[in-house]
Every structure is written in C-alpha cells, then in structure tokens.
Amino acid sequence: MKIRPRHPRPRYDARARIAKALAHPSRLMILEALENREVCVCDLTELVGADQSTVSKHLAVLKQAGLVEDRKAGVMVFYKLKVCCLQGFWDCLETVLAQNLKTQRAVLR
C-alpha cells in the first residue's frame, strides 16, 4: 500500500535540524539546567565539564536552532530557554528508556 508523506520534504529537514540540536548529552544537560532560570556560560561550562570553547559551541547550536536565547550582562552572557515545550520531550525520552529497560530484562529472563 502506497504511503504518502504528510508534509513536503523540506518540512522534515527543518524538523530534523531542531531534533539534531537536541541530540547530544551535553546539550540535553544544558537545556535541563535552563529550565526555569537563566544561567551564564561560566556556570554551564562547569556543569558540563568540557572546555569553555566546547560549551560555547554547544550553545551556538542551541541558539541557531531557536531553542535558547542569550543576554549579555557586562562581561558575562546568560542563556535561557526560548521554548516551553521541552518537558514533554524529557518525558518521552524517559518513557522510551524505561520501556527499553523492561525489554532488556525480558530478554535476559
């Protein structure tokens, strides 16, 4: 049975660009840290535990995707979430992880 795409191709490209920005452990950690507050790059760097330049690039990825925005305050830069729909995403990831655990246990049994 022939399946038609629900949307034109570029729409999936655009969606994937957002999804890609979400597809890295450090970036997930950063986004979660930004829940309900803004945080400076220095604190995010300490949180992530990578080089400052690395964190800066992760932030650039998130910003480019439209997920966060920044605010300069003197010599510091504060980032905060630009979207409020991430909780559902975390929940979904956790659901999948829990389900995978269950599947794995079933295999071992």
Partner DNA sequence: ATATTCAATGCCAATATTGCCATTAAGCCA
Partner DNA sequence: TGGCTTAATGGCAATATTGGCATTGAATAT
Which residues lie near a second copy (CB under 8 A)?
1-6, 9, 12-16, 18-20, 22-29, 32-33, 39, 43-44, 46-47, 65-67, 82-83, 85-86, 88-97, 99-100, 103
80 binds, among DNA, a second copy, none (CB under 5 to 8 A by kind): none
Which residues face 63 on adjacent strands? Answer: none
Of 14, 26, 103, nearest to 66 by C-alpha is 14
Contact flag: residue 64 with DNA (CB under 7 A): no
Give the whole-angstrom CA distance, residue 37 versus residue 29. 14
Give the whole-angstrom CA distance, residue 100 versus residue 79. 33
| Site residues (vs DNA, CB under 7 A) | 20, 23-24, 26, 40-42, 45, 50-54, 56-61, 70, 72, 74-77
